[in-house]
Amino acid sequence: MFVDVARIHLKAGNGGNGAVSFHREKYVAAGGPDGGDGGRGGNIVFKVDDNLSTLADFRYKRKYVAENGENGGTSRCTGKSAPDLVISVPRGTVVKDYETGRIIADLSDDEPVIIAKGGNGGWGNQHFATATRQIPRFSKPGNPGEELDVKLELKLLADVGLIGFPNVGKSTLVSVVSQAKPKIANYHFTTLTPVLGVVSLGEGSSFVMADIPGLIEGAGEGVGLGHEFLRHVERCRMLLHVLDISGSEGRDPKEDFEIINRELAVFSEELSHRTQIVVANKCDLVDDEIIEEYRAYFENKGYQFFPIMAAIAEGTDALIKEVAEALSKLEPIKRFEAEPAPKADYTLNTKKRTFNVRVVDGVFMVEDAPWLINVMNDIDPDDYESLQYFERVLRSSGIIDALIKAGVKEGDTVSVYDIEFDYVP
């Protein structure tokens, strides 16, 4: 089964928690904090595997979770980092954020790509000792690993794409100019999956030709299997537009040509400007006068015109020679550039710490402050010095001033997410 689109869920590993411990050794007084750091969570890494040709494996397994890092230990021992989870995909797979459509990576070369990063391990209490805080009884928890849904799209890596209506001879053409053996029969949609063939030019020179299954009117809007097939045309450096010049199925070749090009433009404006060569197949079924009439029509539109008889390989040598010469002047196969992730609305490393204070039934509620959640995860309510640190954060961020402006008085209840406390000026 040929599968070229899949949706999967990724969850990178969480970082291990930092440890709270103190050095205890005979004859060593006040050994001090020695809690170790947590280990890093496992990344989720994608890599190319040329033994794969479809995304069929992702139809049955759709959730991938990397291991978490180990917690820190005593004696400054750092927890073990988790191994990366490596996922193999066919060459040419494009990874997109499912929610936004943002391109995360294009797996077209051999370089592995980290798609979801594991969380860093939390600091042990060894890092929080100061001249005034010599017995820190708190540590930092590990950061969560990235979690997201991604869409995988396989876009074939081919230099030349064969396009045209069903049953015009595309499969026959690719079979006589390469070693590919697509299914060939005298009915529509014989080819249901794209077929790649390597066209050898001798002396180590070659290019890849893709037989794209027949398009129909409305394909650009998804009619039939339009989007599934047009997706594989996007990377092609040039297109061979194959026509049944005999009109053996009652269609007008000129109208067929215009319809397919309109569908390309609907799907992608860029595709409509891709270099095209018109290939007139089944020339043995028409007179030379008709061939010359079509030649004049397409050459007046600026297209090169090649009459062939694909079934007996007549005219194919001249066509392939021209294709090779044209390819030498074109840009390499298209690569999709990764798009940067949108910047977060807040960061702990800047002064932009947004929040909102509102009063509900006499309770002063601090809300809309997601940056504060990470701070609260570091707090040990049973440790006095930890609570002092939390108070300093509230004052430095302006939350205390906002509470005062809202009318808070001594003894009033303040709620910060899951923590409630009585206000003391």
Tens digits of residue pLDDT in 26-36: 877 777 899 99
86, two tokens:
């490596």
**Cα separations in angstroms, 195 against 34, 132, 206, 208, 232:** 62, 71, 16, 10, 10
List of domains in the chain: 1-154 (2.70.210.12), 160-327 (3.40.50.300), 356-422 (3.30.300.350)
Q: State the Cα–Cα distance between residues 96 and 103, nearest whole angstrom.
A: 4
Q: Is pLDDT of 379 > 90? A: no
Q: Is pLDDT of 349 > 70? A: no
Higher pLDDT, 312 or 349: 312
**Percentage of residues in the chain with pLDDT exceeding 90?**
41
Half-sphere exposure of 230 (CA within 13 A, CB side): 27
Please answer whether residues 170 and 214 qualify as being in contact, where contact means their C-beta atoms are separated by less than 8 angstroms: yes
Distance in angstroms between the alpha carbons of the first and the last residue of the chain: 69
Q: State the Cα–Cα distance between residues 143 and 113, nearest whole angstrom.
A: 21
Higher pLDDT, 380 or 49: 49
Comparing CA positions, the residue from 112, 116, 117 lying closest to residue 98 is 116
| pLDDT at position 260 | 87
Q: State the Cα–Cα distance between residues 158 and 323, nearest whole angstrom.
A: 13
Q: Is pLDDT of 168 > 70? A: yes
Q: State the Cα–Cα distance between residues 416 and 398, nearest whole angstrom.
A: 14
Q: State the Cα–Cα distance between residues 369 and 392, nearest whole angstrom.
A: 16
Q: Among 142-151, 189-198, 201-210, 267-276, where is mean pLDDT lowest?
A: 189-198
**Cα separations in angstroms, 416 against 152, 178, 358, 371:** 40, 69, 11, 12
pLDDT band for 38, please (50, 70, 90 cuts). very high
Q: Is pLDDT of 219 > 50? A: no
221, two tokens:
């809007």
- pLDDT tens-digit profile of 121-165? 988 988 878 777 778 887 888 888 999 999 999 887 889 989 888
Higher pLDDT, 418 or 163: 163
Partner residues linked to 153 by β-bridges = 5, 94
Highest mean pLDDT among 8-12, 187-191, 259-263, 356-360: 8-12
Phi, psi of 355 (to 5 degrees): -165, 170
Q: What angle do CA 210, 212, 216 make, to 5 degrees?
A: 160
302-322: average pLDDT: 94
Q: State the Cα–Cα distance between residues 282 and 312, nearest whole angstrom.
A: 10
Q: Is pLDDT of 189 > 50? A: no
Q: Is pLDDT of 246 > 50? A: yes
Q: Which of helix, strand or coil describes residue 176? A: helix
Residue type, 262: R
- pLDDT tens-digit profile of 83-107? 999 999 999 999 999 999 999 999 9
Round the average pLDDT of the chain to a whole number and report it: 84
Instruction: Quote the pTM value.
Output: 0.68
Q: State the Cα–Cα distance between residues 421 and 300, nearest whole angstrom.
A: 82
319-331: average pLDDT: 92
